[in-house]
Amino acid sequence: DAGVTQSPTHLIKTRGQQVTLRCSPISGHKSVSWYQQVLGQGPQFIFQYYEKEERGRGNFPDRFSARQFPNYSSELNVNALLLGDSALYLCASSLAVQETQYFGPGTRLLVL
Amino acid sequence: QQQVKQSPQSLIVQKGGISIINCAYENTAFDYFPWYQQFPGKGPALLIAIRPDVSEKKEGRFTISFNKSAKQFSLHIMDSQPGDSATYFCAASMGDDKIIFGKGTRLHILP
């Protein structure tokens, strides 16, 4: 049984570029959340989506955006990349809101 | 402002010993306190979780102790094994899915 999958696994971008990260939730899960994990720190909440609607947003600038598709997969977009955006981006899925979240392996983004 | 404070930052324990990681929180609206285990190159995996109406929860070698009045909770790993070597995160949330994580404890179990 497949867990949460994320693509790509690694990504290198330069400052000012834009990036799109993808997440496929566990089959049957309708909620997807995104987290940023800077090296040596705990994950920080970015967004949560449920049934294609945004349910929550963390303290991140408007350069960060996301969406959820009818098949419940999700994309995280980051515009005008900064060096400080270098991090592991984690996607987590849950059956519904306020249910246990299961994390994917993450996408490691390096901004040069 | 750090809403969940975790200590120690790193911990070395002999095989068979007890590993203890502590966390403190400020917001009394938190109603769900999970612990996550993360291995290098992997995403965090839920280990065990507790709600504030319970003072202790045990699952196998892992136990959460919860002190509501002190706003503290801790993870105890009994009979620690080398395979337990990982980074552990305490976390908290309040009725929604925005999980707030501590900064993590890097645990190393000596063989």
Question: B97 and A48 in contact by Cβ < 8 A?
Answer: yes
Distances (CA, A) of B90 to A3, A32, A52, B46: 22, 21, 29, 10
Sign of CA dihedral B23, B44, B63, B111: negative
Q: For each of chain A's 112 residues, which pLDDT tens digit applies?
A: 689 999 999 999 999 999 999 999 999 999 999 999 999 899 999 999 999 999 989 999 999 999 999 999 999 999 999 999 999 999 999 988 778 889 999 999 999 9
Q: In this predicted structure, what is the pLDDT of residue A86?
A: 97
Q: Does B96 contact A at CB distance below 8 Å?
A: yes
Question: B98 and A56 in contact by Cβ < 8 A?
Answer: yes
The Cα of B38 is separated from the nearest Cα of chain A by a number of Å equal to 10
- pLDDT, tens digit (0-9, with 9 covering 90-100), for A63-84: 999 999 999 999 999 999 999 9
Q: Does B91 contact A at CB distance below 8 Å?
A: yes
Q: Does B89 contact A at CB distance below 8 Å?
A: yes
The Cα of A47 is separated from the nearest Cα of chain B by a number of Å equal to 8
Of the candidates A41, A43, A98, the beta carbon closest to that of B96 is on A98
As a whole-number percent, the residues of chain A with pLDDT over 70 amount to 99
Sign of CA dihedral B81, B8, B92, A101: negative
